[in-house]
């Protein structure tokens, strides 16, 4: 827990310092002046903070994932048959997908899970839990690995970052526009003052909820594409076998690493599905069963 808190604080400090320097270089200061709201300055401010924060997080994603989960990298020459097979399988799948070789790792956890992350196709990581290796047959593990390699091939990490950055910027921009409009209807002396900051905070919270629903919806769509891509790489039977095994072990997903939520395999049900980054496994299985592969 202490390590995760430290990494969280370190990442946010790096984001704040970097973006503060960028805004200083651009000469963007206050966006509310004597003549009212400076839309251009506000747009630059929101774009830098929204997109900048997302891209800094992307650049740190592989490093953060390895340290948050305690991933041990493997090179295919460990002398342990299971781990060497794992590396060889990722190598073969990435060659089929015409991708640079990602880092491959294992992290110690009873959860049955895997994830792919990284800032680009040439700087990616595929990691699986020790629980997944214990719970699955090799053909099922191959289906999971193919799914993760498909995420890399589809450029999902960068696409999600772009979408998250746009949503962050939009939420910041709209919250400040609305807050300024509300303040303008009241005391002119209070524009940009303490009460406006509180209104901005509340608006960002509310608008952020709707923004998270949009990004979660897109994330669910990318899971269907990754399932299709995984079936193309490893075979439909292996991909379906992997999903069915995951469905049978759905309770063995570690909820502690919230920063890796979009990288996790399982989804949720009920009204919370609108905020889930993954569709329910039963839905994914049904979609893949009906899919026509090229």
Distance in angstroms (rounded) separating the CA atoms of residues 281 and 220: 11
Q: Which of 52, 22, 36, 53 is nearest to 176 (CA)?
A: 36
**What would the two tokens of residue 148 be?**
């993760």
Determine the 3-state secondary structure of 106 from DSSP. strand
- What are the CA-CA distances from residue 47 to residues 192, 213, 286 (Å)? 19, 20, 39
Instruction: Please name the residues in contact with 62: beta carbons below 8 A apart, sequence gap of 6 or more.
Output: 103, 117, 118, 119, 123, 124, 125
**Catalytic pick among 103, 111, 140, 148:** 148
Q: Quick one: which H or E segment has residue 216?
A: helix 194-234
Residue 126's DSSP bridge partners are 104, 116
Q: Quick check: is 204 catalytic?
A: no
Instruction: Please name the residues in contact with 255: beta carbons below 8 A apart, sequence gap of 6 or more.
Output: none
Active site residue ranges:
148
């Amino acid at each position: 827990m202490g390590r995760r808190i430290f990494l969280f604080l370190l990442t946010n400090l790096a984001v704040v310092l970097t973006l503060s320097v960028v805004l200083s270089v651009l000469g963007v200061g206050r966006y509310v002046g004597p003549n009212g709201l400076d839309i251009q300055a506000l747009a630059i401010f929101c774009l830098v903070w929204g997109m900048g924060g997302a891209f800094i997080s992307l650049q740190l994603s592989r490093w953060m994932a390895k340290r948050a989960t305690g991933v041990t990298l493997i090179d295919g020459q460990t002398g342990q048959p299971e781990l060497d097979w794992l590396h060889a399988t990722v190598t073969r799948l990435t060659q089929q997908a015409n991708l640079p070789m990602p880092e491959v790792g294992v992290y110690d956890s009873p959860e049955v899970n895997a994830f792919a992350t990284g800032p680009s196709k040439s700087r990616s990581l595929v990691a699986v839990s020790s629980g997944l290796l214990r719970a699955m047959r090799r053909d099922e593990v191959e289906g999971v690995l193919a799914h993760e390699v498909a995420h890399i091939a589809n450029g999902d990490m960068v696409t999600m970052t772009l979408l998250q950055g746009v949503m962050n910027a939009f939420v910041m921009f709209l919250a400040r526009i609305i807050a300024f409009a509300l303040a303008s209807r009241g005391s002119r002396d209070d524009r940009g003052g303490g009460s406006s900051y509180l209104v901005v905070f509340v608006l960002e919270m509310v608008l952020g909820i709707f923004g998270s629903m949009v990004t979660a919806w897109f994330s669910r769509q990318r899971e269907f594409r990754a399932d299709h891509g995984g079936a193309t790489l490893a075979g439909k039977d292996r991909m379906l076998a992997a999903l069915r095994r995951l469905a049978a072990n759905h309770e063995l997903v570690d909820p502690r690493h919230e920063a890796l939520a979009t990288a996790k395999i399982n989804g949720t049900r009920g009204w919370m599905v609108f905020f889930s980054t993954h569709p329910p496994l039963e839905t994914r299985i049904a979609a893949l069963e009906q899919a026509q592969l090229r």
